[in-house]
Amino acid sequence: MSASTLSRFQGTLLGVLVGDCLGGPFEGSKYVSKAHLNKYFAKMLDPSVRLPFKTYTDDTAMTKSVALSLIQCRRVDPMDMAKRFVSEYNADPKRGYGATVGDVFQNLHLTAFEDPFGPASRQFGGMGSYGNGAAMRISPVPLFTHSTSDESDDLSTLLAAVETCSKVTHSNPLGIRGAILHAIAVRAALRHKAGEKMDTTAFTNGLIDIMAQVEGADSGKAHMTHSKLDKDPETSYVKKLEIVRSFLALNEPPHREEIEEVLGTAVSAHRSVPTALYCFLAAQKPIPEIETDNVFQRALMLSFHLGGDTDTIGSMAGALAGAQFGLDGIPSGLLKHCEATKQAVQWGEDLFNLAETSSSASSKGTQRSS
């Protein structure tokens, strides 16, 4: 695999971190004005200005656990991931975790990790959480399964790996499918031809095709209470993606209130993952009153402008732009304000080395384990 692929692996995880660190201070805001964001980013990019250092939140803490688990186990090991989530949480519980995921960590510990999926499956009266916590941490997985040699195998391996990783904390189909949508979007961004203008409609159509299969297959096997999810516009990712596509077709982006109302800015996966994707795709071209030529920065600024779950939506949009453009696409002036940038780049490099070894093994007929 090429040096530019290495940079795109690193850019993906640096994108998670930078979106999370810079978006953290705005989490829970009703919205953030574009004028304020223009000033905020101009200040950060001014080398003479010193600003408070921005720490990462649970989004990066859990991404780190997923990345290190994949790097060290060389497979998707839900038990190892569960143990890492719990020890990371215990080491620093004040990273802004979701309101109920702490119960999963506590119960994993109390049951001595007997079943890594058990505590998550008992959340919310047995329905499982539909928070965006599975999606926000998933981007190391499409890097891990990335293959230059076999496209179709790569996708089915990825879907299975995402489901396993998600179910450690989120067993609700909406939580899992949100993670699938973000993972396949990272995969597609990583595969987008470097230097080529993105056809955002075609990009969205590619994701719709996959999500239609995922929702169709799930409704055949799912519990009765879950089988209606893909029919309801609020809970069908296909329907949300169709809205993303229609927003992108407008000459100017819709007003933030419409984006918030229709796509959402909440902590639930179905009201944040499509929004992050929209921010990334809308940022491919200039956005009125957002003052930057850089797509990565524009994606973050639009995410923060919408308010709500800004660290998570910014982090997911950042991962997508980082996957498309690599390290060079992330303004270096932003990095000095964020914690752990060197580590994030290293996780990307380690996952690249692993994917490269697996790609050459699979081209010799050896299967990647997942």
Residues of this chain that interact with ligand R7I (CB under 6 A) are 57-59, 96-101, 124, 127, 129-133, 136, 172, 267-268, 309, 311-312
Nearer to Mg ion, 57 or 166 (CB): 57
Q: Which does 140 bind (CB under 5 to 8 A by kind): Mg ion, ligand R7I, none?
A: none
**Quick one: which of 342, 343, 298, 341 has its CA closest to 321?**
298
Q: Which does 127 bind (CB under 5 to 8 A by kind): ligand R7I, Mg ion, none?
A: ligand R7I
Question: Is residue 312 a contact point for Mg ion (CB under 5 A)?
Answer: yes
Q: Per-residue contact track with Mg ion, 79 to 108, x per CB under 5 A?
A: -----------------x------------
Alpha helices by DSSP H, 24-150:
34-45, 58-73, 78-91, 101-110, 118-121, 123-126, 133-136, 140-144
Nearer to ligand R7I, 141 or 287 (CB): 141
Single residue of 77, 163, 215, 309 touching Mg ion by CB under 5 A: 309
The C-alpha atoms of residue 19 and residue 125 are separated, in whole angstroms, by 33
The C-alpha atoms of residue 113 and residue 108 are separated, in whole angstroms, by 5
Q: Which residues, numbered 38-77, are part of the site for Mg ion (CB under 5 A)?
A: 57-59
> Is 58 marked as binding a ligand?
yes
The C-alpha atoms of residue 155 and residue 158 are separated, in whole angstroms, by 5
Residue 233, both tokens: 């516009």
Which residues are within 8 A (CB) of 187 and not within 5 positions of it... i.e. 6 or more apart? 142, 145, 146, 154, 155, 158
Q: Which does 268 bind (CB under 5 to 8 A by kind): ligand R7I, Mg ion, none?
A: ligand R7I
Q: Least distance to Mg ion from the beta carbon of 293, Å?
A: 28
Size of the site for Mg ion (CB under 5 A): 7
Nearer to Mg ion, 57 or 275 (CB): 57
Distances (CA, A) of 196 to 115, 149, 193, 244, 324: 46, 22, 6, 21, 10
Which residues are within 8 A (CB) of 272 and not within 5 positions of it... i.e. 6 or more apart? 132, 135, 178, 264, 265, 266, 308, 309, 312, 313, 316
> Is 111 marked as binding a ligand?
no
Question: Is residue 206 a contact point for Mg ion (CB under 5 A)?
Answer: no
3-state secondary structure (DSSP) of residue 32: coil
Q: Least distance to ligand R7I from the beta carbon of 169, Å?
A: 6
Q: Least distance to ligand R7I from the beta carbon of 147, Å?
A: 29
Q: Which does 129 bind (CB under 5 to 8 A by kind): Mg ion, ligand R7I, none?
A: ligand R7I
Q: Which residues bind Mg ion (CB under 5 A)?
A: 57-59, 96, 309, 311-312
Binding residues: 57-59, 309, 311-312
Binding residues for Mg(2+): 57-59, 309, 311-312
